């Protein structure tokens, strides 16, 4: 409402030109809820219409200009007041003046650079959105429309298998092998575990997928580990010479691409944790980094 409840106000709506045909992607919001948003890729044009609908027909709406912005920003949850904008584009839709009736304005941001993947994490959020604003002397009227951006990657030329031996001297010696060092988000992790020496009573063995989110720089670096999946590969005591196969389907888990030093603000990496638990509840584990 305007000052003292008098005068004109308006509703704003942002409609994409290809809203009926553009694909949508599911994305998790900060409160954990999953919603669907229009999906874009780097270099795609973003175009549409801004509808400004006057609330009270017959009354004029004075304004200081109407604009639309395309924004890509990173927000650290521990520093809510500062938004780090890595993309900021503005289109003026109308000069200062007045509206005497509801009006529609066309806009187009051509071949927009969208360098990073949309991401909502434990301590950081990277989002893209359109914001339409009717400037006013006392209080602006604005509306935001969130978009989701996915980055495209090529298959790596080198994707060698991983083979390692680990153990505790004179107690446990195992060898494990994974078929790749890099996986895509819908891939299958295939591997084997060989028991070369077993002198402790192992009760349980599992593979955990760990997501590590790193935010901040220098002395103000925060690491947040989140266990995405626990996959049991053995229940019971193995014997020397035994081989345990691994086949872990990634499609069922909520994974993102690996992110490396995004805008010098944060990184996201994934690890495979091989965990063994003996009959006295002691835990033995070996961690291996994997790219998604």
Question: Which domains are assigned to the chain?
Answer: 10-149 (2.60.40.640), 162-287 (2.60.40.640)
Q: CB-based contacts of 198: which residues, under 8 Å, 6+ apart? A: 172, 237, 238, 239, 240
Cα 37 to Cα 11: distance, rounded to the nearest angstrom: 21
What's the distance, CA 226 to chain centroid?
14
So what's the pLDDT on residue 146?
A: 97
Residue 2, pLDDT > 70, answer no
Whole-angstrom distance, CA of residue 79 vs CA of residue 21: 38
* pLDDT range class, residue 211, cuts 50, 70, 90: very high
DSSP state string for 110-131: TT----S--EE-SSEEEEEEEE
Across residues 203-210, what is the average pLDDT? 86
pLDDT at 42: 96
Q: Which pLDDT tens digit goes with each residue over 108-159?
A: 999 999 999 999 999 999 999 999 999 998 889 999 999 999 998 777 778 8
Judged by DSSP in three states, 286 sits in: strand
**How far is it, in rounded angstroms, from Cα 27 to Cα 256?**
11
pTM for the structure as a whole: 0.85
pLDDT of residue 249: 92
Give the pLDDT confidence of 185-201 residue by residue, as tens digits.
999 999 898 888 777 77
% of the chain with per-residue pLDDT over 90: 52
pLDDT at 291: 53
Q: Per residue in 50-98, pLDDT tens?
A: 999 999 888 999 999 999 999 999 998 877 778 899 999 999 999 999 9
Output the six-digit token pair for 250: 């990634």
Is residue 268 classed exposed, middle or buried when 0-12, 13-18 and 19+ CB atoms within 10 A define those classes?
A: buried
pLDDT at residue number 289: 58
> Which pLDDT tens digit goes with each residue over 4-32?
445 678 999 999 999 999 999 999 888 87
DSSP assignment of 54-70: ESSTT--EEES-EEEEE
Q: Taking the mean position of all CA atoms in its chain, how far away is CA 118? A: 5
- The pLDDT, as a whole number, for residue 108 is 97
C-alpha distances in Å from residue 139, one per residue of 23, 50, 51, 133, 223: 35, 19, 19, 10, 40
Res 6: pLDDT = 52
Please provide residue 4's backbone torsions phi and psi, each rounded to the nearest 5 degrees. Answer: 60, 15
- Mean pLDDT of the region 33-37: 91
State pLDDT tens for residues 50-60. Answer: 999 999 888 99
Strand duo 119-120 + 124-134: pairing:
antiparallel
Burial of 272 (0-12, 13-18, 19+ CB in 10 A): buried
* Structural element, H or E, at residue 192: strand 188-198
């Amino acid at each position: 409402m305007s000052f003292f409840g008098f005068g004109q106000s308006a509703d704003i709506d942002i409609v994409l030109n290809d809203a009926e045909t553009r694909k949508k992607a599911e994305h998790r919001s900060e409160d954990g809820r999953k919603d669907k948003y229009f999906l874009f890729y780097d270099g795609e044009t973003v175009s549409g219409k801004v509808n400004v609908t006057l609330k009270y027909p017959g009354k004029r709406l004075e304004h200081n200009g109407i604009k639309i912005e395309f924004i890509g920003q990173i927000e650290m949850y521990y520093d809510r007041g500062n938004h780090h904008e890595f993309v900021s584009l503005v289109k003026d839709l109308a000069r200062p003046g007045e509206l005497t009736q509801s009006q529609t304005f066309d806009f187009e941001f051509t071949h927009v650079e969208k360098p990073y993947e949309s991401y909502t994490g434990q301590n950081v959020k990277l989002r893209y959105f359109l914001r339409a604003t009717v400037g006013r002397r006392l209080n602006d009227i604005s509306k935001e429309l969130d978009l989701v951006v996915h980055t495209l990657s090529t298959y790596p030329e080198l994707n060698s298998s991983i083979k390692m031996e680990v153990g505790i001297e004179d107690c446990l010696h195992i060898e494990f092998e994974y078929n790749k060092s890099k996986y895509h988000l819908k891939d299958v992790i295939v591997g084997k575990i060989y028991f070369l020496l077993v002198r402790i009573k192992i009760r349980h063995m599992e593979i955990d997928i760990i997501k590590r989110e790193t935010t901040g720089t220098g002395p103000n670096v925060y690491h947040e580990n989140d266990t995405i999946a626990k996959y049991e590969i053995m229940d019971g005591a193995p014997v020397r010479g035994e081989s345990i196969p691994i086949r872990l389907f990634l499609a069922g888990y909520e994974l993102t691409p690996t992110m490396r030093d995004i805008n010098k603000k944060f990184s996201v990496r994934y690890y495979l944790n091989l965990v063994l638990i003996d009959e006295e509840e002691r835990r033995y584990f070996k961690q291996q980094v994997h790219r998604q």
